[in-house]
Amino acid sequence: MPLRHLPAGYVRGVTSLLERVPDDMLWEPVARAKRAAAWMARLDGTFISPRGIGIFEPQERYGLLAPDMRAQAATFLAGIDYLRRDVPPDLAQPADWLARLEQRAYLSFVLLRDIDAMSMAHSLEVRVPFLDRALGDVAARISSDLKLRDGVGKWVLKHALRDLLPDEVLFRPKMGFGLPYPLWMRRSLAPIVRETLSPERVRRRGVFDPDAVGSLLDRFYRGDDNVWRKLWTLFVLEGWATEVLDASAA
């Protein structure tokens, strides 16, 4: 049975058992399955699960919709289904599949979009040398064993640069660039968030249930930091609809 048809918990369990056995002690087909299972478990946590690319769980999303919209919800495709059509699963080369998913989704829809919008807003010209086409073609042909080894990502790149940069730079922990959205939403943006997602505005738009949105608002402003991303998504969507849809209808 293909690994992708097995429950994610089962794949992770098999992976944890097989990790204790060296590859050279396994029959080669089993060793290949072990490597594929390890990547599958990694993929499940990042992309295969809807949590990896979605903000709302399916049932939660359904409950947020206005009653008239719920009848149409059955026709909606989850984000992971769009990606699966665009980047078909390839468990024979799972690391390459993960790279294509990353390029097609997070890199394209988030990182490049954000850096373009923010840099142009401040009249900055940003370059992305690691996205050079020739370099990307070479990187795509490199074995996954050289990209991730002994828990070190970008292994071949880091070792290629060891005579140019010190190890404390090459091997330091990854540092993100998070923004304090919850803080902003509770302080300077609080009035506009509350007004944009007010029952009147939500009811007039007709897409979401005002009571469900109000419940999210109450949870967030009572201190629940687990829902800020969901609230921010609704806030941005309504802001876009006001600026684009309402303006074009006027």
In this predicted model, what pLDDT tens digit does every residue of 128-159 receive, in sequence order?
Answer: 999 999 999 999 899 888 888 877 889 999 99
- Residue 224 has a pLDDT of 95
Residue 25 has pLDDT above 90, yes or no: no
- Residue 48 has a pLDDT of 44
- Exposure string over 169-203, b if 16+ CB within 10 A, otherwise e: ebeeeeeeeeeeebeebbeeeeeebeebbbeebbe
Residue 174 has pLDDT above 90, yes or no: no
What are φ and ψ of residue 149, in 5° steps?
-140, 130
Domain edges within the chain: 1-48, 181-249
pLDDT grade, residue 216 (50/70/90)? very high
* Residue 208 contacts residue 65 (beta carbons within 8 Å): yes
- Residue 13 has a pLDDT of 62
* Residue 67 contacts residue 209 (beta carbons within 8 Å): yes
How far is C-alpha 129 from the chain's CA centre? Answer: 23
**Nearest-angstrom CA–CA distance, 168 and 229:** 34
